[in-house]
């Protein structure tokens, strides 16, 4: 079975219409997203209804949203977190926090980024190749992408425990850690990295003013050893402050 796997941090839906157009063009079979707002009120602006907008504009019959916070925006309070869009039926779903638990009054400000609750979302998919286990990671934040902090060690331990013993694992997302970080290397002992350390950055530097982001590849993909990597790409698309990463994969 051949399929496409794509990850993108939505940047709180700032460019949700562009994101929808891009995702429609890519037509990936499995999409994992971070910083996804799940508001539903018709009075809310589109960025606070990111998941609803994507559901309306894209052809994904199955989805899951794992809330990390109640996001306090000047235009409304909405559930926000990770999301999976899938062309395959979701048969199981779960999530766990990497650090602080659910925050019911999160306000987006740099001073709060270190304590934003980060989530590892999990769904099991029913496919012709058997169960596919998808893990969508929003990793603990640290401005130093190589820092092997206690929180990052804890993150690696939780990821490794979550994927243990599961077949056909797809793991990806905004890890907030460089591929060279020791925590990421620990994870790589259990799944293979799609990109290794080949990417210079996964940030959209049109939207960043800190030059350090130009050498930070933090949006990563990993797969079980049995899954063949046919193609891979980090796309220079101006749809977020992150760049989309994707891979065409095959399970025999």
Burial classification of residue 129, based on how many CB atoms lie within 10 Å of its CB (0-12 exposed, 13-18 middle, 19 or more buried): middle
| pLDDT value of position 99 | 85
| pLDDT value of position 53 | 98
Give the class (CATH, top level) of 2-250: alpha beta
Mean pLDDT of the region 173-187:
98
Cα–Cα distance measured from residue 209 to residue 130, given in angstroms and rounded to the nearest whole number: 45
| pLDDT value of position 122 | 98
Closest CA to 8 of 235, 222, 248, 173: 173
For the stretch 200-214, pLDDT in tens is 999 999 999 999 999
Report the b/e string of 97-110 with b at 16+ CB within 10 A: ebbeeebeebeeee
- Give, for 156, the enclosing helix (H) or strand (E): helix 150-163
Mean pLDDT of the chain: 97
For the stretch 18-47, pLDDT in tens is 999 999 999 999 999 999 999 998 999 999
- pLDDT exceeds 90 at position 224: yes
For the stretch 103-143, pLDDT in tens is 999 999 999 998 899 999 999 999 999 999 999 999 999 99
- pLDDT exceeds 90 at position 16: yes
């Amino acid at each position: 079975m051949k399929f496409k796997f794509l990850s993108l941090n939505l940047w709180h839906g700032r460019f949700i219409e562009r994101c929808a157009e891009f995702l429609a063009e890519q037509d990936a079979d499995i999409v994992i997203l971070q910083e996804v707002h799940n508001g539903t009120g018709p009075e809310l602006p589109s960025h606070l209804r990111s998941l609803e907008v994507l559901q309306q504009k894209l052809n994904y019959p199955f989805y899951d949203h794992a809330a990390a916070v109640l996001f306090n925006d000047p235009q409304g309070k909405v559930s926000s977190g990770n999301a999976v869009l899938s062309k395959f039926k979701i048969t199981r779903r779960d999530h766990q926090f990497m650090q602080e638990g659910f925050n019911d009054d999160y306000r987006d400000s740099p001073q709060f980024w270190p304590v934003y609750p980060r989530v590892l979302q999990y769904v099991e998919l029913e496919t012709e190749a058997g169960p596919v286990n998808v893990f969508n990671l929003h990793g603990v934040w640290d401005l130093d992408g190589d820092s092997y902090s206690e929180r990052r060690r804890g993150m690696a331990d939780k990821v490794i425990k979550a994927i243990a013993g599961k077949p056909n694992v797809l793991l990806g997302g905004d890890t907030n850690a460089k591929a060279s970080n020791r925590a990421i290397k620990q994870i790589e002992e259990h799944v293979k990295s799609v990109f290794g350390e080949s990417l210079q950055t996964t940030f959209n530097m049109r939207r960043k003013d800190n030059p350090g982001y130009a050498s930070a590849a933090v949006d990563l993909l990993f797969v079980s050893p049995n899954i063949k990597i046919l193609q891979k790409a980090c796309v220079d698309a101006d749809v977020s402050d992150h760049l989309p990463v994707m891979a065409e994969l095959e399970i025999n």
